[in-house]
Chain A
Amino acid sequence: MSFISYLINGLGLGSVYAIIALGYTMVYGIAKMLNFAHGDVIMIGAYVALLSMTHAGMPVLPAVLISVVACTVLGLLIERVAYKPLRNASSSLAVLITAIGVSYLLQNIALLMFGANAQTFPSVVKWKGLSLAGGKLTISGETLVTIIVCIIIMIALILFVQKTKPGQAMRAVSEDRGAALLMGINVNGTIALTFAIGSGLAAIAGVLLCSAYPSLTPYTGAMPGIKAFVAAVFGGIGSIPGAFIGGILLGIIEIFGKAYISSQMADAIVFAVLIVVLLVKPTGLLGKKIQEKV
Protein backbone atom coordinates (compact mmCIF):
# COMPACT_ATOMS: atom_id res chain seq x y z
CA MET A 1 0.00 0.00 0.00
CA SER A 2 2.86 2.35 0.71
CA PHE A 3 4.02 1.94 -2.89
CA ILE A 4 0.72 3.34 -4.19
CA SER A 5 0.85 6.11 -1.63
CA TYR A 6 4.37 7.08 -2.76
CA LEU A 7 3.27 6.92 -6.37
CA ILE A 8 0.39 9.31 -5.73
CA ASN A 9 2.60 11.70 -3.79
CA GLY A 10 5.04 11.55 -6.67
CA LEU A 11 2.21 12.42 -9.05
CA GLY A 12 1.31 15.39 -6.87
CA LEU A 13 4.84 16.74 -6.69
CA GLY A 14 5.35 15.93 -10.36
CA SER A 15 2.24 17.92 -11.23
CA VAL A 16 3.75 21.02 -9.60
CA TYR A 17 6.97 20.46 -11.56
CA ALA A 18 4.91 19.98 -14.71
CA ILE A 19 3.07 23.29 -14.29
CA ILE A 20 6.37 25.12 -13.77
CA ALA A 21 8.00 23.21 -16.64
CA LEU A 22 5.17 24.27 -18.97
CA GLY A 23 6.21 27.88 -18.43
CA TYR A 24 9.86 27.05 -19.04
CA THR A 25 9.15 25.07 -22.16
CA MET A 26 6.75 27.59 -23.74
CA VAL A 27 9.15 30.48 -23.21
CA TYR A 28 12.00 28.40 -24.59
CA GLY A 29 9.97 27.24 -27.58
CA ILE A 30 8.81 30.71 -28.55
CA ALA A 31 11.39 33.19 -27.26
CA LYS A 32 14.30 30.71 -27.61
CA MET A 33 15.63 31.58 -24.17
CA LEU A 34 15.95 29.90 -20.80
CA ASN A 35 14.18 32.04 -18.26
CA PHE A 36 16.07 31.07 -15.12
CA ALA A 37 14.05 33.61 -13.13
CA HIS A 38 10.94 31.52 -13.70
CA GLY A 39 11.34 29.66 -10.39
CA ASP A 40 11.51 32.92 -8.46
CA VAL A 41 8.30 34.17 -10.04
CA ILE A 42 6.72 31.15 -8.31
CA MET A 43 8.02 32.36 -4.96
CA ILE A 44 6.69 35.88 -5.58
CA GLY A 45 3.33 34.38 -6.52
CA ALA A 46 3.24 32.43 -3.27
CA TYR A 47 4.06 35.57 -1.20
CA VAL A 48 1.34 37.55 -2.95
CA ALA A 49 -1.21 34.81 -2.24
CA LEU A 50 0.00 34.51 1.37
CA LEU A 51 -0.28 38.25 2.03
CA SER A 52 -3.67 38.43 0.35
CA MET A 53 -4.96 35.67 2.60
CA THR A 54 -3.31 36.49 5.92
CA HIS A 55 -2.95 40.31 5.88
CA ALA A 56 -5.86 41.28 3.66
CA GLY A 57 -7.97 38.41 4.95
CA MET A 58 -9.17 37.43 1.52
CA PRO A 59 -10.83 34.13 0.70
CA VAL A 60 -8.78 31.58 -1.22
CA LEU A 61 -10.01 32.09 -4.77
CA PRO A 62 -9.62 35.88 -4.97
CA ALA A 63 -6.20 35.56 -3.33
CA VAL A 64 -5.07 33.05 -5.94
CA LEU A 65 -6.49 35.24 -8.67
CA ILE A 66 -4.57 38.28 -7.41
CA SER A 67 -1.42 36.19 -7.27
CA VAL A 68 -1.94 35.09 -10.90
CA VAL A 69 -2.50 38.68 -12.00
CA ALA A 70 0.55 39.90 -10.06
CA CYS A 71 2.80 37.23 -11.58
CA THR A 72 1.46 37.87 -15.09
CA VAL A 73 2.30 41.54 -14.73
CA LEU A 74 5.68 40.66 -13.21
CA GLY A 75 6.44 38.29 -16.11
CA LEU A 76 5.53 40.94 -18.68
CA LEU A 77 7.64 43.50 -16.84
CA ILE A 78 10.69 41.22 -16.66
CA GLU A 79 10.37 40.41 -20.35
CA ARG A 80 9.98 44.04 -21.37
CA VAL A 81 12.72 45.49 -19.17
CA ALA A 82 15.33 42.74 -18.99
CA TYR A 83 14.96 40.41 -21.97
CA LYS A 84 13.45 42.31 -24.90
CA PRO A 85 16.35 44.78 -25.24
CA LEU A 86 18.68 41.78 -25.63
CA ARG A 87 16.58 39.95 -28.22
CA ASN A 88 18.91 40.79 -31.08
CA ALA A 89 22.10 40.67 -29.03
CA SER A 90 24.95 38.99 -30.82
CA SER A 91 25.36 36.37 -28.11
CA SER A 92 22.52 34.39 -26.60
CA LEU A 93 24.61 34.19 -23.43
CA ALA A 94 23.70 37.82 -22.71
CA VAL A 95 20.05 37.05 -22.08
CA LEU A 96 20.90 33.85 -20.17
CA ILE A 97 23.14 35.74 -17.77
CA THR A 98 20.49 38.44 -17.43
CA ALA A 99 17.94 35.78 -16.51
CA ILE A 100 20.22 34.55 -13.73
CA GLY A 101 20.58 38.16 -12.60
CA VAL A 102 16.81 38.64 -12.53
CA SER A 103 16.54 35.46 -10.47
CA TYR A 104 18.86 36.85 -7.77
CA LEU A 105 17.16 40.23 -7.97
CA LEU A 106 13.76 38.69 -7.23
CA GLN A 107 15.18 36.62 -4.36
CA ASN A 108 16.81 39.64 -2.80
CA ILE A 109 13.75 41.86 -3.23
CA ALA A 110 11.76 39.17 -1.42
CA LEU A 111 14.44 38.96 1.26
CA LEU A 112 14.25 42.71 1.78
CA MET A 113 10.47 42.85 1.84
CA PHE A 114 9.52 39.65 3.65
CA GLY A 115 12.67 38.72 5.59
CA ALA A 116 14.63 35.50 5.63
CA ASN A 117 12.41 33.67 8.11
CA ALA A 118 10.23 30.91 6.78
CA GLN A 119 6.57 31.80 6.81
CA THR A 120 3.84 29.23 7.21
CA PHE A 121 1.65 29.04 4.17
CA PRO A 122 -1.98 28.15 4.88
CA SER A 123 -3.18 25.48 2.48
CA VAL A 124 -5.58 26.75 -0.14
CA VAL A 125 -7.19 23.34 -0.31
CA LYS A 126 -9.89 22.85 2.32
CA TRP A 127 -10.78 19.37 1.16
CA LYS A 128 -9.52 16.61 3.48
CA GLY A 129 -8.89 14.25 0.63
CA LEU A 130 -9.70 10.60 0.24
CA SER A 131 -9.30 7.67 2.55
CA LEU A 132 -9.28 4.39 0.68
CA ALA A 133 -8.91 0.71 1.47
CA GLY A 134 -10.33 1.09 4.95
CA GLY A 135 -8.00 3.94 5.92
CA LYS A 136 -4.82 2.19 4.77
CA LEU A 137 -4.39 4.58 1.87
CA THR A 138 -5.00 8.28 2.32
CA ILE A 139 -4.58 10.82 -0.38
CA SER A 140 -4.45 14.43 0.69
CA GLY A 141 -6.72 17.02 -0.83
CA GLU A 142 -3.69 19.07 -1.87
CA THR A 143 -2.27 16.19 -3.90
CA LEU A 144 -5.55 15.49 -5.66
CA VAL A 145 -6.25 19.15 -6.42
CA THR A 146 -2.70 19.63 -7.74
CA ILE A 147 -2.98 16.66 -10.09
CA ILE A 148 -6.41 17.77 -11.35
CA VAL A 149 -5.30 21.39 -11.86
CA CYS A 150 -2.20 20.24 -13.72
CA ILE A 151 -4.21 18.06 -16.11
CA ILE A 152 -6.70 20.88 -16.77
CA ILE A 153 -3.88 23.35 -17.46
CA MET A 154 -2.14 21.00 -19.85
CA ILE A 155 -5.29 20.24 -21.84
CA ALA A 156 -6.19 23.94 -21.95
CA LEU A 157 -2.72 24.86 -23.20
CA ILE A 158 -2.72 22.21 -25.91
CA LEU A 159 -6.15 23.36 -27.12
CA PHE A 160 -5.01 26.98 -27.00
CA VAL A 161 -1.89 26.33 -29.04
CA GLN A 162 -3.63 24.08 -31.59
CA LYS A 163 -6.98 25.77 -32.02
CA THR A 164 -6.75 29.50 -31.39
CA LYS A 165 -5.31 32.25 -33.53
CA PRO A 166 -2.77 33.47 -30.93
CA GLY A 167 -1.82 29.81 -30.46
CA GLN A 168 -1.17 29.43 -34.18
CA ALA A 169 0.88 32.62 -34.05
CA MET A 170 2.95 31.08 -31.23
CA ARG A 171 3.66 27.98 -33.29
CA ALA A 172 4.65 30.12 -36.26
CA VAL A 173 6.94 32.35 -34.17
CA SER A 174 8.50 29.29 -32.54
CA GLU A 175 9.46 27.92 -35.94
CA ASP A 176 10.51 30.99 -37.94
CA ARG A 177 10.34 34.51 -36.54
CA GLY A 178 11.09 36.22 -39.86
CA ALA A 179 8.45 34.27 -41.77
CA ALA A 180 5.98 34.95 -38.92
CA LEU A 181 6.59 38.69 -39.32
CA LEU A 182 5.87 38.38 -43.03
CA MET A 183 2.50 36.83 -42.15
CA GLY A 184 1.70 39.96 -40.16
CA ILE A 185 2.23 38.31 -36.77
CA ASN A 186 3.35 40.70 -34.06
CA VAL A 187 6.33 38.68 -32.83
CA ASN A 188 7.07 40.91 -29.83
CA GLY A 189 3.43 40.70 -28.75
CA THR A 190 3.43 36.93 -29.15
CA ILE A 191 6.56 36.57 -27.02
CA ALA A 192 5.06 38.86 -24.37
CA LEU A 193 1.89 36.75 -24.35
CA THR A 194 3.99 33.64 -23.80
CA PHE A 195 5.68 35.24 -20.80
CA ALA A 196 2.29 36.32 -19.45
CA ILE A 197 0.89 32.79 -19.67
CA GLY A 198 4.03 31.16 -18.25
CA SER A 199 4.16 33.57 -15.31
CA GLY A 200 0.45 33.22 -14.58
CA LEU A 201 0.97 29.46 -14.41
CA ALA A 202 3.95 30.02 -12.12
CA ALA A 203 1.63 31.72 -9.61
CA ILE A 204 -0.67 28.69 -9.60
CA ALA A 205 2.33 26.40 -9.20
CA GLY A 206 3.58 28.52 -6.29
CA VAL A 207 0.28 28.36 -4.43
CA LEU A 208 -0.05 24.61 -4.97
CA LEU A 209 3.58 23.93 -4.02
CA CYS A 210 3.30 25.90 -0.78
CA SER A 211 -0.01 24.28 0.05
CA ALA A 212 1.67 20.88 -0.06
CA TYR A 213 4.97 22.01 1.52
CA PRO A 214 3.84 24.94 3.68
CA SER A 215 7.10 26.72 4.37
CA LEU A 216 7.76 29.84 2.32
CA THR A 217 11.12 31.63 2.11
CA PRO A 218 12.66 33.85 -0.60
CA TYR A 219 14.49 30.73 -1.85
CA THR A 220 11.42 28.52 -2.09
CA GLY A 221 11.21 28.88 -5.86
CA ALA A 222 14.84 28.26 -6.69
CA MET A 223 15.08 24.47 -6.36
CA PRO A 224 11.66 23.64 -7.85
CA GLY A 225 12.55 26.04 -10.68
CA ILE A 226 15.75 24.15 -11.45
CA LYS A 227 13.97 20.82 -11.17
CA ALA A 228 11.20 21.98 -13.48
CA PHE A 229 13.87 23.04 -15.94
CA VAL A 230 15.30 19.53 -15.67
CA ALA A 231 11.78 18.19 -16.23
CA ALA A 232 11.35 20.33 -19.34
CA VAL A 233 14.67 19.14 -20.76
CA PHE A 234 13.87 15.57 -19.70
CA GLY A 235 10.57 15.65 -21.64
CA GLY A 236 12.06 17.52 -24.60
CA ILE A 237 12.28 21.27 -24.20
CA GLY A 238 9.83 23.17 -26.37
CA SER A 239 7.22 20.41 -26.19
CA ILE A 240 4.10 20.94 -24.06
CA PRO A 241 3.25 17.24 -23.55
CA GLY A 242 6.99 16.71 -22.96
CA ALA A 243 6.99 19.17 -20.07
CA PHE A 244 3.98 17.42 -18.58
CA ILE A 245 5.47 13.92 -18.84
CA GLY A 246 8.91 15.14 -17.74
CA GLY A 247 7.43 16.87 -14.68
CA ILE A 248 5.35 13.89 -13.62
CA LEU A 249 8.23 11.42 -14.07
CA LEU A 250 10.60 13.68 -12.17
CA GLY A 251 8.17 13.96 -9.24
CA ILE A 252 7.73 10.19 -9.09
CA ILE A 253 11.48 9.53 -9.33
CA GLU A 254 12.14 12.04 -6.55
CA ILE A 255 9.56 10.58 -4.16
CA PHE A 256 10.62 6.99 -4.90
CA GLY A 257 14.24 7.97 -4.49
CA LYS A 258 13.45 9.49 -1.09
CA ALA A 259 11.37 6.53 -0.01
CA TYR A 260 13.43 3.61 -1.23
CA ILE A 261 16.99 4.81 -1.63
CA SER A 262 17.94 7.79 0.47
CA SER A 263 16.21 11.03 1.30
CA GLN A 264 19.53 12.89 1.20
CA MET A 265 20.34 11.47 -2.19
CA ALA A 266 16.94 12.21 -3.80
CA ASP A 267 18.04 15.38 -5.60
CA ALA A 268 21.23 13.74 -6.81
CA ILE A 269 19.17 10.87 -8.19
CA VAL A 270 16.92 13.34 -10.04
CA PHE A 271 19.87 14.99 -11.75
CA ALA A 272 21.57 11.65 -12.45
CA VAL A 273 18.43 10.55 -14.28
CA LEU A 274 18.61 13.69 -16.40
CA ILE A 275 22.20 12.96 -17.34
CA VAL A 276 21.37 9.39 -18.32
CA VAL A 277 18.36 10.47 -20.40
CA LEU A 278 20.36 13.10 -22.21
CA LEU A 279 23.14 10.62 -22.95
CA VAL A 280 20.67 8.18 -24.47
CA LYS A 281 18.31 10.67 -26.11
CA PRO A 282 19.82 14.16 -26.30
CA THR A 283 16.56 15.79 -27.43
CA GLY A 284 14.63 14.53 -24.38
CA LEU A 285 11.73 12.08 -24.38
CA LEU A 286 9.42 13.92 -26.79
CA GLY A 287 11.87 16.44 -28.22
CA LYS A 288 12.06 16.77 -31.95
CA LYS A 289 15.33 16.54 -33.74
CA ILE A 290 15.99 19.90 -35.33
CA GLN A 291 17.22 19.43 -38.83
CA GLU A 292 19.79 21.92 -39.91
CA LYS A 293 19.13 22.93 -43.48
CA VAL A 294 22.20 23.15 -45.65
Chain B
Amino acid sequence: MAMLEVKDLEVYYGMIQAIKGISFEVNQGEVIALIGANGAGKTTTLHTITGLLSPKKGSVLFEGQDITKVPAHKIVSMGMAHVPEGRRVFSQLSVYENLKLGAYTRKDRSNIDKELQSIYERFPRLAERKNQLAGTLSGGEQQMLAMGRALMSKPSIVLMDEPSMGLSPILVNEIFDIIESISKSGTTVLLVEQNAKKALSIADRAYVLETGKVVLEGNAKDLLENDSIKKAYLGE
Protein backbone atom coordinates (compact mmCIF):
# COMPACT_ATOMS: atom_id res chain seq x y z
CA MET B 1 0.00 0.00 0.00
CA ALA B 2 1.27 3.41 -0.87
CA MET B 3 1.92 5.84 1.95
CA LEU B 4 0.24 8.71 0.13
CA GLU B 5 -2.24 8.16 -2.64
CA VAL B 6 -3.83 10.93 -4.68
CA LYS B 7 -6.76 9.73 -6.78
CA ASP B 8 -8.45 11.60 -9.65
CA LEU B 9 -8.05 14.96 -7.97
CA GLU B 10 -9.95 17.90 -9.46
CA VAL B 11 -9.56 21.37 -7.98
CA TYR B 12 -11.18 24.64 -8.98
CA TYR B 13 -10.42 28.27 -8.22
CA GLY B 14 -13.91 29.65 -8.59
CA MET B 15 -14.87 28.75 -12.14
CA ILE B 16 -11.37 27.93 -13.28
CA GLN B 17 -10.23 24.34 -13.11
CA ALA B 18 -6.63 24.19 -11.94
CA ILE B 19 -6.29 20.43 -11.49
CA LYS B 20 -7.95 18.19 -14.03
CA GLY B 21 -7.84 14.73 -12.56
CA ILE B 22 -4.40 14.06 -11.11
CA SER B 23 -3.46 10.67 -9.67
CA PHE B 24 -0.15 9.61 -8.19
CA GLU B 25 1.30 7.76 -5.26
CA VAL B 26 4.20 8.07 -2.88
CA ASN B 27 5.66 5.02 -1.16
CA GLN B 28 7.35 4.94 2.21
CA GLY B 29 10.98 6.09 1.98
CA GLU B 30 10.76 7.49 -1.54
CA VAL B 31 11.67 10.92 -2.84
CA ILE B 32 9.01 11.81 -5.38
CA ALA B 33 9.31 14.88 -7.57
CA LEU B 34 6.41 16.73 -9.16
CA ILE B 35 7.85 18.81 -11.96
CA GLY B 36 6.29 21.12 -14.48
CA ALA B 37 6.11 24.72 -15.59
CA ASN B 38 4.48 27.63 -13.81
CA GLY B 39 0.73 27.11 -13.63
CA ALA B 40 0.90 23.35 -14.11
CA GLY B 41 -0.86 22.84 -10.77
CA LYS B 42 2.02 21.69 -8.58
CA THR B 43 1.40 24.04 -5.66
CA THR B 44 -2.36 23.58 -5.93
CA THR B 45 -1.84 19.83 -5.62
CA LEU B 46 0.21 20.21 -2.44
CA HIS B 47 -2.30 22.68 -0.97
CA THR B 48 -5.08 20.22 -1.64
CA ILE B 49 -3.20 17.35 0.01
CA THR B 50 -2.68 19.31 3.24
CA GLY B 51 -6.21 20.69 3.26
CA LEU B 52 -5.53 24.36 2.49
CA LEU B 53 -7.75 23.82 -0.56
CA SER B 54 -10.56 21.34 -0.98
CA PRO B 55 -11.03 19.36 -4.16
CA LYS B 56 -14.24 19.20 -6.13
CA LYS B 57 -13.63 15.57 -6.97
CA GLY B 58 -11.19 12.86 -6.07
CA SER B 59 -9.53 11.83 -2.85
CA VAL B 60 -6.32 11.89 -0.88
CA LEU B 61 -5.38 8.81 1.13
CA PHE B 62 -2.63 8.95 3.71
CA GLU B 63 -1.54 5.68 5.33
CA GLY B 64 -4.77 4.12 4.19
CA GLN B 65 -6.94 6.85 5.70
CA ASP B 66 -9.06 9.20 3.63
CA ILE B 67 -7.88 12.70 4.55
CA THR B 68 -9.70 14.58 1.79
CA LYS B 69 -12.08 16.23 4.26
CA VAL B 70 -9.75 16.47 7.24
CA PRO B 71 -9.29 20.17 8.17
CA ALA B 72 -5.84 21.59 7.43
CA HIS B 73 -4.85 22.07 11.07
CA LYS B 74 -5.35 18.38 11.84
CA ILE B 75 -3.04 17.12 9.08
CA VAL B 76 0.30 17.86 10.70
CA SER B 77 -0.36 15.74 13.78
CA MET B 78 -1.07 12.79 11.47
CA GLY B 79 2.56 12.90 10.38
CA MET B 80 2.49 15.08 7.30
CA ALA B 81 4.41 18.36 7.22
CA HIS B 82 4.32 20.97 4.46
CA VAL B 83 7.10 23.44 3.67
CA PRO B 84 5.13 26.03 1.70
CA GLU B 85 6.22 27.93 -1.38
CA GLY B 86 7.96 31.17 -0.52
CA ARG B 87 9.03 29.74 2.89
CA ARG B 88 6.34 31.64 4.82
CA VAL B 89 8.27 31.78 8.06
CA PHE B 90 6.73 33.96 10.76
CA SER B 91 8.89 37.02 10.20
CA GLN B 92 7.92 38.81 13.42
CA LEU B 93 8.84 35.78 15.52
CA SER B 94 12.34 34.62 16.42
CA VAL B 95 13.97 31.60 14.81
CA TYR B 96 13.46 29.71 18.07
CA GLU B 97 9.78 30.65 18.25
CA ASN B 98 9.27 29.56 14.64
CA LEU B 99 10.81 26.18 15.38
CA LYS B 100 8.68 25.79 18.51
CA LEU B 101 5.55 26.46 16.44
CA GLY B 102 6.62 23.60 14.19
CA ALA B 103 6.08 21.33 17.18
CA TYR B 104 2.81 23.06 18.12
CA THR B 105 0.71 19.89 18.09
CA ARG B 106 3.25 17.75 19.93
CA LYS B 107 2.69 17.00 23.59
CA ASP B 108 6.00 15.24 24.40
CA ARG B 109 7.96 18.15 25.77
CA SER B 110 11.29 16.42 26.41
CA ASN B 111 11.38 15.03 22.87
CA ILE B 112 10.66 18.47 21.47
CA ASP B 113 13.88 19.74 23.04
CA LYS B 114 15.78 16.82 21.54
CA GLU B 115 14.25 17.58 18.15
CA LEU B 116 15.27 21.21 18.52
CA GLN B 117 18.86 20.17 19.23
CA SER B 118 18.96 17.90 16.20
CA ILE B 119 17.57 20.70 14.00
CA TYR B 120 20.27 23.03 15.32
CA GLU B 121 22.87 20.36 14.49
CA ARG B 122 21.50 19.92 11.01
CA PHE B 123 21.26 23.68 10.46
CA PRO B 124 24.09 25.29 12.47
CA ARG B 125 23.21 28.69 11.02
CA LEU B 126 19.80 28.53 12.67
CA ALA B 127 21.46 27.80 16.01
CA GLU B 128 23.65 30.89 15.59
CA ARG B 129 20.61 33.02 14.83
CA LYS B 130 18.08 31.45 17.17
CA ASN B 131 17.12 34.71 18.88
CA GLN B 132 17.00 36.74 15.68
CA LEU B 133 13.66 37.61 14.08
CA ALA B 134 12.98 35.27 11.18
CA GLY B 135 12.29 38.27 8.91
CA THR B 136 15.92 39.33 9.22
CA LEU B 137 17.30 36.05 7.84
CA SER B 138 18.59 35.65 4.30
CA GLY B 139 16.54 33.70 1.75
CA GLY B 140 18.61 30.55 2.18
CA GLU B 141 18.39 30.75 5.96
CA GLN B 142 14.63 31.27 5.77
CA GLN B 143 14.36 28.15 3.62
CA MET B 144 16.35 26.21 6.20
CA LEU B 145 14.10 27.59 8.91
CA ALA B 146 10.98 26.57 7.00
CA MET B 147 12.41 23.07 6.61
CA GLY B 148 13.51 22.87 10.22
CA ARG B 149 10.09 24.10 11.35
CA ALA B 150 8.43 21.31 9.35
CA LEU B 151 10.82 18.70 10.76
CA MET B 152 9.95 19.81 14.32
CA SER B 153 6.66 17.95 13.97
CA LYS B 154 8.68 14.75 13.33
CA PRO B 155 6.73 13.98 10.17
CA SER B 156 6.74 10.66 8.35
CA ILE B 157 6.34 12.56 5.08
CA VAL B 158 7.32 16.12 4.24
CA LEU B 159 5.91 18.06 1.28
CA MET B 160 8.30 20.68 -0.06
CA ASP B 161 7.16 23.38 -2.45
CA GLU B 162 9.89 25.03 -4.55
CA PRO B 163 12.59 24.93 -1.88
CA SER B 164 15.25 26.23 -4.29
CA MET B 165 13.24 29.20 -5.53
CA GLY B 166 15.19 32.46 -5.61
CA LEU B 167 18.39 31.00 -4.17
CA SER B 168 21.94 31.27 -5.50
CA PRO B 169 23.38 28.14 -7.23
CA ILE B 170 25.58 27.32 -4.22
CA LEU B 171 22.60 27.51 -1.88
CA VAL B 172 20.48 25.46 -4.27
CA ASN B 173 23.06 22.67 -4.00
CA GLU B 174 23.08 23.02 -0.23
CA ILE B 175 19.28 22.82 -0.05
CA PHE B 176 19.22 19.70 -2.23
CA ASP B 177 21.92 18.09 -0.07
CA ILE B 178 19.68 18.78 2.93
CA ILE B 179 16.68 17.20 1.20
CA GLU B 180 18.75 14.11 0.48
CA SER B 181 19.87 13.89 4.08
CA ILE B 182 16.26 14.29 5.29
CA SER B 183 15.33 11.42 3.02
CA LYS B 184 18.26 9.29 4.26
CA SER B 185 17.17 9.80 7.84
CA GLY B 186 13.94 8.00 6.98
CA THR B 187 11.48 10.74 6.07
CA THR B 188 9.52 10.34 2.86
CA VAL B 189 9.71 13.41 0.60
CA LEU B 190 7.27 14.80 -1.93
CA LEU B 191 9.12 17.53 -3.77
CA VAL B 192 7.64 20.16 -6.07
CA GLU B 193 10.27 21.91 -8.16
CA GLN B 194 10.74 24.05 -11.21
CA ASN B 195 14.42 23.14 -11.16
CA ALA B 196 13.67 19.81 -12.85
CA LYS B 197 17.28 18.78 -13.30
CA LYS B 198 18.13 19.04 -9.61
CA ALA B 199 14.84 17.51 -8.58
CA LEU B 200 15.24 14.51 -10.89
CA SER B 201 18.83 14.01 -9.74
CA ILE B 202 17.76 13.28 -6.16
CA ALA B 203 14.29 11.79 -6.75
CA ASP B 204 13.42 8.11 -7.07
CA ARG B 205 10.41 8.68 -9.27
CA ALA B 206 8.76 11.72 -10.77
CA TYR B 207 5.50 12.93 -12.26
CA VAL B 208 5.43 15.61 -14.92
CA LEU B 209 2.47 18.00 -14.69
CA GLU B 210 1.15 20.11 -17.53
CA THR B 211 -1.90 22.38 -17.17
CA GLY B 212 -3.43 20.35 -14.39
CA LYS B 213 -2.71 16.86 -15.69
CA VAL B 214 -0.01 14.24 -15.27
CA VAL B 215 1.50 13.90 -18.75
CA LEU B 216 4.45 11.67 -17.93
CA GLU B 217 5.67 9.57 -15.04
CA GLY B 218 8.51 7.23 -14.39
CA ASN B 219 11.87 6.65 -12.77
CA ALA B 220 13.75 9.87 -12.25
CA LYS B 221 16.82 8.52 -14.02
CA ASP B 222 14.80 7.57 -17.10
CA LEU B 223 13.09 10.94 -17.18
CA LEU B 224 16.49 12.68 -17.09
CA GLU B 225 17.28 10.86 -20.34
CA ASN B 226 13.86 11.44 -21.90
CA ASP B 227 14.11 13.64 -24.98
CA SER B 228 10.90 15.59 -24.53
CA ILE B 229 11.80 16.27 -20.88
CA LYS B 230 15.25 17.38 -21.90
CA LYS B 231 13.78 19.79 -24.37
CA ALA B 232 10.97 21.18 -22.25
CA TYR B 233 12.43 21.27 -18.75
CA LEU B 234 16.14 20.67 -18.77
CA GLY B 235 17.07 23.24 -21.40
CA GLU B 236 19.16 20.81 -23.38
Contact = CB atoms under 8 A, between A and B. Distances in A.
B3 interface: no
B162 to A, nearest CB: 14
Interface string A166-189: 001101100110111111111100
B100 interface: yes
Contacts of B77: 184
Contacts of A184: 73-77, 104-105, 153
Interface string A182-215: 1111110000000000000000000000000000
B93 interface: yes
Contacts of A136: none
A238 to B, nearest CB: 10
What secondary structure prevails in chain A residues at the interface with B? Answer: helix
Given A165-B104, A168-B101, A181-B52, A186 B73 contact: yes
A182 B90 contact: no
A86 B74 CA distance: 22
Contact of B93 (A165, A171, A178, A182): A171
B70 to A, nearest CB: 12
A169 B104 contact: yes
Contact of B90 (A165, A175, A187, A293): A175
A103 to B, nearest CB: 31
Interface in B47-78: 50-52, 72-77
Interface string B71-107: 0111111000110101011111100010011101100
Task: Give me the 10 closest cross-chain CB pairs, A-B, nearest first.
Answer: A184-B105, A184-B76, A181-B72, A179-B88, A183-B104, A183-B101, A182-B82, A186-B73, A175-B90, A184-B104
A178 B73 CA distance: 9
Interface of A: 165, 168-169, 171-172, 175-176, 178-187, 288, 293
Contacts of B101: 168-169, 172, 180, 183, 185
Contact of B73 (A171, A176, A187, A288): A187
Contacts, number: 65
A175 B93 CA distance: 9
Nearest to B134: A175
Nearest to A288: B92
Contacts of B104: 165, 168-169, 183-185
A222 B52 CA distance: 38
A181 B88 contact: no
Contacts of B88: 176, 178-179
B36 to A, nearest CB: 22
B90 A176 contact: yes
Contacts of B92: 171, 175, 288
11 contacts: A168-B100, A171-B90, A171-B92, A175-B90, A178-B84, A181-B72, A181-B73, A183-B76, A183-B153, A184-B76, A186-B73
Contacts of B84: 178-179, 182
Which of A171, A175, A176, A183 counts the most B-chain CB atoms under 10 A from its CB?
A183
A266 B125 CA distance: 55
A168 B73 contact: no
A170 to B, nearest CB: 11
| Most B Cβ at <10 Å: residue of A165, A172, A181, A184 | A184
A158 B16 CA distance: 44
